[in-house]
A = this chain, B = another copy of it.
Amino acid sequence: MEDLFSLLRIDSQSAKGKGAEAAKFLVDYMKNKGIEAEEIRHKSVNPYVVGELNVGAAKTLLIYNHYDIQPVEPLERWETDPLTPTIKEGKVIARGVADDKGALMARLESVISLYKEGKLKVNLKFLYEGEEEIGSPYMASFLTDNAKRLKANYVLWEGAGKGPNGAPQIVLGVKGLIYVEIRTETPKDLHSMYAPVARNPVWELLNFLNELRGEDGKVKIPGFYDDVVVPPSVEGLYASKLGIDMKTVERALGYRVGDDFLVKLVRDPTCNIDGIQAGYVGEGSKTVIPSSAFVKIDFRLVPRQRAKDLLAKLREMVDRKGFKMMVLGEVEPFRTCEDSEISKALIESAKETYFVEPLVLPNSPGTGPMASVSNMLGIRQIADGVGPDNPESNIHSFNEFIYKRDYDLCKEWMTNFLRRLGSQA
């Protein structure tokens, strides 16, 4: 694991402008192993690392990872130095080992081994980003400008690791997102004795939110559910069927949820209030009719809902009220079908490596830019898998770790995956 440790020692906290050293390390490392590689400075501070290994195969796989890491703070909560990778009780502890340097290096090491042995039957392209942890601000523009160069048949996402049942996890899509801030105002704060005749922006906003979502959680934007596709495979996601320990889930959420929690997480689009504020919120009482109120809302969308269309419908509702709306996020959902070549290769190689049924999620409960990658590069088969992390890896938190054994298995999974993909292609 010497190469992984070298990468983990490099500070690449993108939030602090760090990363250039890691990019250089990767380019040198890849070149050294016979892979074409270069840094491309786009608009970003940290360069994109782009690589290619053409073995003359019919099909090409683009491997996406990121070399930047979350900030290491709070330092006092770490049991070891976050930038000094440490092996302890079978764990490798370091910032970034689970997200995402472990997956990056495990995959790369497998590729190099297969290549050396002459067993690589699929062409490879590599895209390593250095600003994922600060929201990939220039990714879309980079992809647009470099679409030709990154052209491929498949994309392997950053690494899904193990699922809540301990089985290797394969994720075939992402949810979409609409994030908006809605605001309403009156000319000035008023003494609350005027309540019988005054407009109260908070009540106006609350009445609107009540029109937006029912008490049952159902979203009331017209046609919201029209295009929802429920994949039959969600029926396999009941916790009892998968042997998921509900106590782990209870610990994560803080309370007990139903046997169908994973079904719902994958299947259901939502409308969530992220924040709301108006009026007097200090100690004690102030009798006031606030002059403004705002709410931040996110909608998670499932395939084949269309963020763009629903946002337009939402804007109509907001406009009718005379409120103001600011769009803070718009991501389309995406799903690759379960019997695509990349899906089958991921599933079969997982079984071969771990001797268990992998946990296959038709889409993540979370959001990512798969749809825009798909559109910009013209690639339909995008999936996530082949990572060394587990649900308790403390991603984005202190004492981030992976099990050493999972790193070795991840390399094996990658080898098996590439072999299967090459034989299918």
Contact = CB atoms under 8 A, between A and B. Distances in A.
Interface of A: 175, 177, 179, 181, 186-188, 190-200, 202-203, 206-207, 209-210, 213, 215, 217, 253-255, 257-258, 261, 264-265, 267-268, 270-281, 284-290, 293-294, 296, 298, 300, 328-329, 364-367
A364 B192 CA distance: 13
Nearest to A202: B273
Given A192-B274, A192-B300, A213-B203, A328 B285 contact: yes
A172 B208 CA distance: 39
Contact of A254 (B186, B217, B271): B186
30 contacts: A175-B193, A179-B285, A187-B253, A187-B255, A188-B254, A190-B254, A192-B274, A192-B300, A195-B270, A195-B298, A195-B300, A196-B264, A198-B257, A199-B255, A203-B213, A206-B206, A272-B287, A272-B289, A274-B287, A274-B289, A274-B290, A275-B286, A276-B281, A276-B293, A277-B277, A277-B278, A284-B328, A285-B296, A285-B298, A285-B328
A253 B179 contact: no
Given A197-B264, A276-B276, 11 more contacts: A179-B287, A192-B300, A193-B265, A193-B364, A195-B270, A200-B272, A273-B279, A275-B288, A285-B328, A285-B329, A287-B367
B264 A275 contact: no
Copies of this chain, complex-wide, total 2
A298 B253 contact: no
Contacts of A177: 287
Contacts of A290: 273-275
A274 B265 contact: no
A278 B279 contact: no
A196 B365 contact: yes
Contacts of A192: 270, 272, 274, 298, 300
Given A290-B273, A298-B285, A206 B203 contact: no
Contacts of A367: 193, 287
Nearest to A290: B275
A213 to B, nearest CB: 7
B206 A268 contact: no
A211 B319 CA distance: 26
B273 A296 contact: no
Given A275-B286, A278-B276, A265 B197 contact: yes
B175 A273 contact: no
Contacts of A199: 255
Nearest to A365: B193
Contacts of A179: 285, 287
A293 B270 CA distance: 19
A185 to B, nearest CB: 10
A293 to B, nearest CB: 7
The residue among A213, A257, A268, A276 with the most chain B CB atoms within 10 A of its own CB is A276
A277 B280 CA distance: 9
B265 A273 contact: no
Given A203-B213, A276-B293, A285-B296, A261 B197 contact: yes
A273 B281 CA distance: 11
Contact of A265 (B186, B194, B255): B194
A265 B190 CA distance: 13
B287 A186 contact: no
